[in-house]
Structure 1
Amino acid sequence: MSLEHGVEPGDMTTPASAVETPDSGTEPGRILRRLVVPTLTVLLLALAWFAVRRLAADVSYESLQSAIASIPVATLIAALALTALSFAALTVYDLGALAFVGRQLPLPIVALTSFSAYAVGNTVGFGALTAGAIRYRFYTSQGIEPEEIGGIVAFVTVSFGLGLAGVAGLGMLAAAGEFAHLPLPASSIKWMGAALVASLAALVLAAGEGRDVRLLGRAWRLPSRHLMLRQFLATAVDVSASAAVLWVLLPANSVDLPAVIALYAVAVGLGVLSHVPAGLGVFETVIVAGLGEQVGIDAVLGALVLYRVIYHLVPLVLAVLLVSVLEMRRVAGSPLATLALRAATRMAPPLIGAFTLVLSATLILSGVTPVGEDSLGLLEGVLPLPVVEGAHFLGSVLGVVLLLVARGLVFRLDGAWWMAMVLVPLSMLLSMAKGIAVGETVLLGTLLLALVAARREFSRPASLVHQALSPGWLLAVGTLIVTAAAVFFFVYQEVAYSHELWWQFELSGEAPRSLRAMMGIVLTAGFGAGWLLLRPFTANSALPTREELDHALHIVATQPRTEACLVGMGDKRLLFSDDGRAFIMYGRQGRSWVALSDPVGPRECWPELVWRFCELAGQAGGRAVFYQVGADSLALYADAGLMAFKMGEEAGVALADFDVKGGKRAGLRQALNRAERERMVFAILTPAEAEGAMAELSAVSAAWLAHHKVREKRFSLGAFDPDYLRGQPVAVLRQDDRIIAFSNLLLTGLQDEASIDLMRFVPDAPNGVMEVLLTHLMLHFRAAGYARFNLGMAPLSGLSASGAAPVWHRVGRAVFEHGERYYNFAGLRAFKAKFRPDWQPRYLAVSGGINPMLALTDITILISGGLKGVIGR
């Protein structure tokens, strides 16, 4: 809802009971859009593994096993200690970011958030499972504003990138001679390192105590020199410690630590830029190419395998166990314990989902690698061959199925939880039956414990098999399949292929068994992904029937927020909750599915409605958008994987304190006195009285539209429609028995909030006529016992002008200050400010990237009734 002078974007709706029709016209485009990015990334991954394979042409699987087995236990303990040091340094990132945005949280909570975010982000690193997404989910629940969270994520990202460059530069300076096998001379490497260090030193010197600088035509807020130095030190410790994890796993005295740190920094950077989950393959290629000639490729590969286990898998397991313990205790004896429990609640689904994804990869890779002679010897005589063969094949297939389950767990589906509770114990039995895989079984047992502990977090009764497979999850499937294929061909490179391999069944026949498992993995993944992509998409396409509209209006009458009355226009589709107690009203424009405001109905119905709406949009290949949502519901949208972008501020007047007496609102009192002298009479027409005056109201509306040369708006604003106006009272100002101004009222049955929609007046009306009408309304509803009068949105108001503000704020602020030619942003806010309201932020919730800009464009078209309405106003 908003006053008509404030153009407000947004709409997308669909009645739950409407006839479903296939959206066949967009099906090929929808599928292609989903496939482009995953396909390109998987091709890059395949090239990376091909490069590793060429570099490791002389390495056998047996020599790799020997290299891993030769690493002493003391070295593994040292690697674990260095991993702990690295993750401790990562906590400083979040502490510095919070300080940068002027926020503070207890150290244990920040440490838990940071540890969990990096445990997931380092290991999985895509889509809903990035460190930034997990931070957003948690910090939103702590009352931190979305723009502040954006600043936190940006600060952590930039500081890590700059610190990584600095560490790489220092490593080049210290160990240029170690890269003699590279085509660049040592002097060039030193100059590159010196340039990096000098650039960062200049940036630190320019920071001072924190100030704005102009770079590339934009203002940037620099943190203080002290904070920058602290962050660089944290990055140096983090990168050095994590690089040292890899270094200690290499043969002793084979290469100096500074050289490994420099190469490691470059490998991590390229892995991030590649967008391959966890930099898989890309990171390995750089490390093998840089160290293979000095250390021995089999030793490097062995160190990389253990590095992935120690630095990636172990922290994730610990994070899952920690959250499970907190969930099982459910103790909140102190404020800190309450915060920790809240953190565990928010972290559990993404952590458990990420862990399930990692274990699905473990089962898949286990299926394409040999079991080992010792394990097979123990199985011989205990289990018949068909059981071993079946366990090996079925265990690999279940690894693929767990991918789908992992996605469902991230999104809190109860069906995913139940399926996991069946598949995980079954996988444990199969892991023992196929080769007494104790480590694999222990990890699966840990997952089972976490699932039991966090049962209450998986409460969404949505269908698991009808979820849209997003590009990120398609990429996960492709990454695992390509990696499994690369491992399979590496392990059995010396086995000549023959058709007979498919039919060889013997306990020692490792290659045939893995070949069949690889076939099962590819077929299961291909069938599953293909079915999810190619199945016909159906979407509700009809506007609501009269019965559905009446039901929605009945729900509105029980709610406090008057903006929900806009459903009465009938121009928005409706999505009802399963129990029919709540709904979302929305519209569709381009690829944007735009829900107007928060869901309407009891708050306990909101989460499922938000999830269903996001999934409905995703299945159609669209973007889910929530327009003009409140700050108190942002955590709900964060859980659904959306980010919030401030749209402006909503003006609300507390009627108990509203009075025209005294100096604060002297201007309003003078306007009322002037209106009385000019014989203006205020009245509120009942719906029946408004029906009798409809012709006169229509004439006023038509004159207003013609005078202002505008078209009727839609979606987040009402239009002059007699059926719409009959639903609520209408406030009018008369002069000499002629209606000179009117506004339809938005009221609910709770009589808590009052507002208006249309604001129309004749061209010859006295100046300030709407100011007079609004003042009369506020005095009237104060006397009637209402608590609040909603003046609607001031678009782009209240956006930060700080150099530290996100790009969205800077763009919006520039439009607010310089866009008078197209829209009176500042004038609208100044008009509403006359009533001395409280200003509450309102947000656009949508996925990140360029989606906010695209969504806002679609919303503008939607409100304007089409592109012609945008151009022609």
Structure 2
Amino acid sequence: MASSTEEFEAEDQQDRGAWRLFLRRNQRYLSAIGTLLVIALFGAAIFHLTAEVRYDDVVSALADTSRRSVATAILFTGLSFLALTFYDVSALDYIERKLPYPAVALTAACAYAVGNTAGFGPLSGGAIRYRSYSRLGLKPEEIARLIAFVTLAFGLGLAVVTCLSLLAVGEYVAPLTGIDAAWLRAIAVFVLAGLLVVLIAARSGREVRIGRLVLRLPDSQTCSRQFLVTALDLAASATVLYVLLPAGTVGWPAFLAIYAVAVGLGVLSHVPAGLGVFEAVIVASLGRAAGVDAVLGVLVLYRVIYHLLPLLIAIVVMIGIELRQLAGHPAASSLRRAGGRMTPLLLATLALVLALMLVLSGVTPTPDENLAFLANYVPLPIIEGAHFLASLLGLALFIVARGLALRLDGAWWASVAIALAAILLSLVKAVALGEAGMLAFLLVGLLASRRLFNRPASLFGQALTLPWLTALGVICFGAFVVLLFVYRDVAYSHELWWQFEFSAEAPRGLRAFLGVTIGASAVAIWSLMRPAAAAVAPACGQEMERAVAIVDAQDMSDANLVRMGDKSIMFSADGRAFIMYGRWARSWIALFDPVGPVDAWPDLIWQFIEAARSNGCRAVFYQVSARGLSHYADAGLRAFRLGELAEVDLQRLEMKGGKWANLRQQVSRGIRDGLEFSVVAPAEIPAILPELGAVSDAWLAHHNAREKGFSLGAFDPRYLTAQPVAILKRQGRIVAFANILITGTREEGSVDLMRFSPEAPKGAMDFLFAQLMEYLKNEGYRRFNLGMAPLSGMSERRLAPVWDRAGRAFYEHGERFYNFKGLRAFKSKFHPQWQPRYLVASGGFNPILALMDATFLIGGGLKGVIRK
């Protein structure tokens, strides 16, 4: 009996493990499906709540809004965005960095204009901040902390305001959630009490531990200031909608509570811009008091004023900055640096909005007077064709919006062509002057910023990622709900599909929706069926000769790893620079920054990213410096700290004084032990290769290790004989060696392969490094590269990114897996300057997967990693 119980428990644990594995592997897909289900449920709720409302009533209510209300709403929109800029100001103050307020305000305003409108990953406010602040000199970890601070500040402030609001308007929200109002209020009190306890515990900026969870919160003064900013922002944005409502609908305090709950639920839903969720809460709460038709009309106008108008203003400002070529004054210069790469993202967001506009206009009726006018001049087949094609152009504009965000030249040309065609079709199908005007605005923006879209790439090779496909699904669901709402009084029949008349609006909308749905489905299937990852061949022959020539003419000594011949090479279009890379699983991993002149980096970086994506892989850059971070940010990638590189200034190397005492003792000890240092020229190395091989084999056997690759050299005669080798002899026998990596500029020297036999005395490697640095100094070299200390220098400060906290924890407690602290301690003996090194990849789970792939590529697979 006991055995049966144990077997049952084992099977139950196995089933739970399988479910957890399934959920972990498919988390992104399940999240996307969940988002679509949420929008579908709230769309159904809106359709039910508007059962007695007709489309014409909504249009009439929208037209009845007074100009004074609109002007007041615009004023409070400006106040809301002014308050939003202080999130970034406070965040910069918290991470102890100072930037000019105009640049900060511009960045914050653009970030919120994009985030409020698009609301999903590829066009989020975080991407805006990363591109802008990286150009203003902030490090990736500082930008990550800034984004974390802003997100946490808004989240906590919204949670407090929402919970306070639930205490006031719980009965309005209860029907939407299915939870009793008393329970909602109880939950709100519980959350408020928890936040209060945490705030008190962290009043001096201390850590708060809840089990294994560690929260690093700002001090109580900073929290209070940020809560005030959130309250001002919510009050101003709520007033935007409030002044548009019919007078006497509800009191402002009660409306603020309803608005805060609607915003909170919209954020929790993860639906782009809270579309549908926000509207459902407002309609359910105010529909009876003001009339559902009036509330719907006001919500449309609110979206235009609070979401679309700031986006248009941001685009005008950014294009104005580009055209005026601001320079000279520090504030003006910082504005141009901050705004130089935000314009494509803003235009891409506008393209998304206009794509939605074209799709929705296809499923909504044309005003009767416009149809009557067109009937006199335009044949019916042309109107029908224009209506259908305009909807498909909306789908096409959505697809090329991603290319605009990536600054593809093909996307620019496609967007210009789509905008021109859509302007013409908008006039032909419905004399839609407003629609045509918006498209013309996009066209002007594209023409004015032409120089920013300079990346040659195949537009058809850019498969839409899952967040973009989710947004595409949201657009299709939204169009379906609007179609049902507008033509709810039209009885469906198969004959509708074949009715072609000037007054047959419902059939026209059905055909447009069908075309968009079929097109969207085709795009989704094509994007999900990614091409198989193609194999990449290592470089050889003339490619190697060209690469070695480039290496010898630049300063980075580590670039000599290209001589191993185990990496593929991609040259820039002009042949002045190259990237060396390898592939593991679905990662194309570039080693170091591009090798060659810095002005050749941007195009080469994008060339590599485009090639990786066209092969269905992610682009990864491993061990890159801070010099190129702005170029990676421009390409939509993010940097994650890997560790620190140790560099010794050979010009100031004098082994005198107290701090060099231990190293001097090691040198003296090596001399007493009979160690003899010398450097062997490449031409003389073949004669000693057997001895070097014996030392290498003994070292591998002693450490139970195997040869590595990619970012480390291996014992290969062709590689070792390419450059000098430093050796240590004892009693006439070689007991240790290291191959020297140098370039023709004599700027930097380094070593790669370091091996010593068990017969070498203790401290032999300290002796070798000290002697080698003295040798390189005498030869006129300026720096000595000691290599990277992994996970060194991870941030310990409050609100450090999760990546840094995890890396720091592994650095502190992972000695059983790797000698992190010992390696840094060895390099610290030489008193180097520490330079950060990064892994660069797109966001989400990609950095973790990329780091795993890089580890396997270096180790030669899982077996190699486990065996050291």
Shorter chain as normaliser: what TM range?
A: over 0.9
Q: Distance in 1 between matches of 2:290 and 2:779?
A: 84
| SS of equivalent to 1:370 | coil
Q: Which residue number corresponds to residue 22 of structure 2?
A: none
- Contact 1:592–1:858, Cα closer than 8 Å, also in 2: yes
Q: Which of 77, 86, 89 is 1:92 aligned to?
A: 86
Shift of the alpha carbon at 1:480? 1.4
Rate the CA distance shift 1:551–1:184 in 2: closer, same or farther, 3 A.
closer
Q: Which residue number corresponds to residue 370 of structure 1?
A: 365
- Contact 1:611–1:640, Cα closer than 8 Å, also in 2: yes
Q: Which of 545, 555, 561 is 1:560 aligned to?
A: 555
Q: Which of 747, 756, 764 is 1:761 aligned to?
A: 756
Q: Distance in 2 between matches of 1:47 and 1:622?
A: 35
Provide Cα deviations, 1:492-535, integer angstroms capped at 9, x if missing partner.
12222334433333333222222222233223333344344447
Rate the CA distance shift 1:123–1:792 in 2: closer, same or farther, 3 A.
same
Q: Which of 128, 132, 144 is 1:138 aligned to?
A: 132
Q: Does 1:521 align with 2:521?
A: no
User: For structure 1, which runs of at least 5 residues remain unmatched after alignment?
Assistant: 1-30
- Contact 2:167–2:185, Cα closer than 8 Å, also in 1: yes
Query: 1:161 is aligned with what amino acid?
Result: G
Q: Which of 39, 55, 60 is 1:61 aligned to?
A: 55
Provide Cα deviations, 1:594-632, integer angstroms capped at 9, x if missing partner.
221112223233223333433444445543322111112
Q: Does 1:490 align with 2:512?
A: no
Query: 1:851 is aligned with what amino acid?
Result: N
Q: Does 1:113 align with 2:113?
A: no
| SS of equivalent to 2:741 | strand
Q: Distance in 1 between matches of 2:195 and 2:344?
A: 39
Q: Which of 731, 734, 756 is 1:736 aligned to?
A: 731
Provide Cα deviations, 1:802-839, integer angstroms capped at 9, x if missing partner.
34322222222222222222222111111111111110
Shift of the alpha carbon at 1:457? 0.9
Q: Which residue number corresponds to residue 81 of structure 1?
A: 75
- Contact 1:649–1:842, Cα closer than 8 Å, also in 2: yes
Q: Distance in 1 between matches of 2:163 and 2:343?
A: 38
Alignment of 1:325-404 (within 5 A): 325-404=320-399
Query: 2:92 is aligned with what amino acid?
Result: L
Q: Distance in 2 between matches of 1:528 and 1:851?
A: 23
| SS of equivalent to 2:840 | strand
Q: Which of 46, 51, 57 is 2:45 aligned to?
A: 51
Q: Which residue number corresponds to residue 770 of structure 1?
A: 765
- Contact 2:533–2:616, Cα closer than 8 Å, also in 1: no
Q: Distance in 1 between matches of 2:388 and 2:584?
A: 47
Query: 1:72 is aligned with what amino acid?
Result: S
| SS of equivalent to 2:583 | strand
Q: Distance in 2 between matches of 1:537 and 1:717?
A: 28
| SS of equivalent to 1:542 | coil
Q: Distance in 2 between matches of 1:32 and 1:527?
A: 22
Q: Which of 206, 215, 220 is 2:210 aligned to?
A: 215
Q: Does 1:469 align with 2:469?
A: no
Shift of the alpha carbon at 1:181? 6.6
Q: Distance in 1 between matches of 2:31 and 2:604?
A: 29
Query: 2:221 is aligned with what amino acid?
Result: H
Query: 1:93 is aligned with what amino acid?
Result: Y
Rate the CA distance shift 1:801–1:704 in 2: closer, same or farther, 3 A.
same
Query: 2:767 is aligned with what amino acid?
Result: V
Q: Distance in 2 between matches of 1:635 and 1:110?
A: 17
Rate the CA distance shift 1:809–1:173 in 2: closer, same or farther, 3 A.
same
- Contact 2:148–2:799, Cα closer than 8 Å, also in 1: no
- Contact 1:701–1:760, Cα closer than 8 Å, also in 2: yes
| SS of equivalent to 1:755 | strand
Report the RMSD for the aligned CA atoms in angstroms.
2.3
Q: Which residue number corresponds to residue 641 of structure 1?
A: 636
Alignment of 1:480-629 (within 5 A): 480-534=475-529, 536-537=531-532, 539-629=534-624
Q: Does 1:791 align with 2:791?
A: no
Shift of the alpha carbon at 1:125? 1.3
Which stretch of the first structure deviates more once superposed, 814-823 or 700-709?
A: 814-823
Alignment of 1:440-455 (within 5 A): 440-455=435-450
| SS of equivalent to 2:243 | helix
Q: Does 1:147 align with 2:147?
A: no
Q: Distance in 1 between matches of 2:266 and 2:855?
A: 38
Rate the CA distance shift 1:286–1:619 in 2: closer, same or farther, 3 A.
farther
Q: Does 1:650 align with 2:645?
A: yes
Q: Which residue number corresponds to residue 160 of structure 1?
A: 154
Q: Distance in 2 between matches of 1:816 and 1:576?
A: 36
Q: Does 1:727 align with 2:722?
A: yes
| SS of equivalent to 2:442 | helix
- Contact 1:543–1:574, Cα closer than 8 Å, also in 2: yes
- Contact 2:677–2:728, Cα closer than 8 Å, also in 1: yes
Provide Cα deviations, 1:207-261, integer angstroms capped at 9, x if missing partner.
4343333234344332222221111011111112222222333332222333332
Q: Distance in 1 between matches of 2:141 and 2:526?
A: 39
Which stretch of the first structure deviates more once superposed, 701-710 or 547-556?
A: 547-556
Q: Taking every aligned residue pair, what percent have the same amino acid on both sides?
A: 54
Q: Distance in 1 between matches of 2:36 and 2:174?
A: 32
Q: Distance in 1 between matches of 2:241 and 2:297?
A: 10
Q: Distance in 1 between matches of 2:584 and 2:514?
A: 43
- Contact 2:463–2:526, Cα closer than 8 Å, also in 1: no
| SS of equivalent to 2:643 | strand
Q: Which residue number corresponds to residue 434 of structure 2?
A: 439
Shift of the alpha carbon at 1:318? 0.8
Q: Which residue number corresponds to residue 15 of structure 1?
A: none
Q: Which residue number corresponds to residue 170 of structure 1?
A: 164
Shift of the alpha carbon at 1:167? 1.0
Q: Distance in 2 between matches of 1:442 and 1:186?
A: 47
Normalised to the residue count of structure 1, the TM-score between the two structures is 0.92
Q: Which residue number corresponds to residue 802 of structure 1?
A: 797
Q: Does 1:666 align with 2:661?
A: yes
Rate the CA distance shift 1:244–1:197 in 2: closer, same or farther, 3 A.
farther
Provide Cα deviations, 1:835-863, integer angstroms capped at 9, x if missing partner.
11110011111233343333333322222
| SS of equivalent to 2:459 | coil
Q: Which of 810, 821, 827 is 1:815 aligned to?
A: 810
Query: 1:245 is aligned with what amino acid?
Result: V
Normalised to the residue count of structure 2, the TM-score between the two structures is 0.93
User: Which structure carries more relative contact order (alpha carbon 8 Å, separation 6+)?
Assistant: 1
Q: Distance in 2 between matches of 1:33 and 1:619?
A: 24
Query: 2:48 is aligned with what amino acid?
Result: R
Shift of the alpha carbon at 1:749? 2.4
Q: Distance in 2 between matches of 1:633 and 1:548?
A: 24
Provide Cα deviations, 1:348-404, integer angstroms capped at 9, x if missing partner.
110111111111111111111111012223333233333333322222221111112
- Contact 1:628–1:844, Cα closer than 8 Å, also in 2: yes
Query: 1:645 is aligned with what amino acid?
Result: F
Q: Distance in 1 between matches of 2:201 and 2:522?
A: 57
- Contact 2:568–2:582, Cα closer than 8 Å, also in 1: yes
Which stretch of the first structure deviates more once superposed, 347-356 or 553-562?
A: 553-562
Q: How many residues align?
A: 843
Which stretch of the first structure deviates more once superposed, 706-715 or 831-840?
A: 706-715
Q: Distance in 1 between matches of 2:414 and 2:69?
A: 39
- Contact 2:130–2:143, Cα closer than 8 Å, also in 1: yes
User: For structure 2, which runs of at least 5 residues remain unmatched after alignment?
Assistant: 1-24
Shift of the alpha carbon at 1:476? 2.2
Rate the CA distance shift 1:179–1:602 in 2: closer, same or farther, 3 A.
closer
Alignment of 1:314-329 (within 5 A): 314-329=309-324
Shift of the alpha carbon at 1:665? 2.2
Rate the CA distance shift 1:434–1:837 in 2: closer, same or farther, 3 A.
same
- Contact 2:173–2:281, Cα closer than 8 Å, also in 1: no
